[in-house]
Amino acid sequence: MDRIYFDNAATTPLDPLVLESMMPYLTEKFGNPSSIYSYGRETRMAIENARKSVAKILNARPAEIFFTSGGTESSNTAINAAVYDLSCKRIITSPLEHHATLHCAEYINKIGIVEISYVKILSNGHIDITDLERLLEESKEKCLVTLMHANNEIGNITDIEAVGNLCKKYNAIFHSDTVQTVGHYNFDLRKLPVHFITGASHKFHGPKGVGILYINENIKIHPFINGGSQERNMRAGTENLYGIVGFAKALELATANHETDREYISNIKSYMQKKLRGNIANVYFNGDYDGKSLYTVLSVAFPKTEKSEMLLFNLDINNICASGGSACSSGADAGSHVIRAISNDLNQITVRFSFSKYNTKEEVDLVVEKLKGMI
């Protein structure tokens, strides 16, 4: 059987049109963008054109878009800047955040610079917005609120406009990890009350190793990485030229085909839900899967049996790529911190299936048929 790839929340295959846009900068257009001669000037122009393209799509100003190595660096930059440059003494976050956020916040807390508060989680996996307001209202210190737009494991989507308005009300800084939604949802950063958002192109058929950090023009911060004057003195290091060009092209394609791709992928997700319900007893879906949820992610809890304890291993043997929660921790025995936060049922095995425009219903049929024998 050919490989079936159902782990698109971890990374997506590179779109051939994106590769095509990158090729000139992988071959003949190799000049260092900091050089003053023509080879350097043409690559500098490519980066600035990419910045303008990304800014236009997100309705931001080009000066608010900074290219980074990916979502982890972007989130670390934003969190550190909020603490060290914007005088935040308390971080309000949730136990469901990506480790790029949690580990960064926990480290700053451990060295005694900030306190951390965790917002309560509702039974469906959403944050308790009332509890968030309580935490903001009770805090005597300036707060950084860092809450992701969409959870990478269970798919729940947070109303970041509502969160942003609360932050505005209580004079808090707001950072949102939008890695799972940039390229999948439309953003209007002129209207959205947020100080920082992040993106990574490999989540929407762009290259790995390149991301963005949006920094609202009304705040001033110092660089997280020091060295050269790249990215307008904000992010030192020779730019990932072909990655940046690929990011802009991938975002352009994702935006142009957004409605068509969203409808198609949503149908794949819905079809798999129905097939699993119809073929496997006692199957359960984590999070708000039929409500405010990513159309690309389906988190499935299977009953724990002698067979199913080896489920991920058996899927791999059968050339089916899926994840046991977050792919960033897929090699660890600790399991998913997200699933632990929303469920204490030890008799379930969770698998995250995540889809792209390249998946088909025929693939779903094959996977469900294999799963029947594995459970």
Residues with a catalytic annotation lie at 328
Q: CB-based burial of residue 263 (10 Å sphere; 0-12 exposed, 13-18 middle, 19+ buried)?
A: exposed
CA dist 1 to 150, 357, 367, Å?
33, 20, 11
Q: Do 158 and 192 contact (CB within 8 A), yes or no?
A: no
Task: Tell me phi and psi for residue 363, to 5 degrees.
Answer: -65, -40
Q: How far apart are CA 223 and CA 316, in angstroms?
A: 42
Strand partners, 93: 118
Q: Name the region of 135 (left: φ>0; alpha: ψ -120 to 50; beta: rest).
A: alpha
The DSSP code for 172 is -
CA atoms 188, 194, 199, 205: torsion sign: negative
Size of the chain in residues: 375
Q: What DSSP line would sit under 264-302, residue for residue? A: HHHHHHHHHHHHHHHHSTT-EE-SSTTSSB-TTEEEEEE
Tokens in use for 228? 């050269």
Which stretches of the chain are assigned E, i.e. beta strand? 4-5, 65-68, 90-93, 115-118, 143-146, 173-176, 196-200, 211-215, 284-285, 297-303, 320-321, 348-354
Residue pair 268/360 in contact by the 8 Å Cβ criterion? yes
The residue type at 36: I
Tokens of 332: 């660890």
Can you tell me the distance from the alpha carbon of 48 to that of 152, in angstroms, rounded to the nearest whole number? 30
| Element holding 154 (H helix, E strand) | none
- In angstroms, the first-to-last Cα distance of the chain is 20
Structure tokens at 163: 């969160």
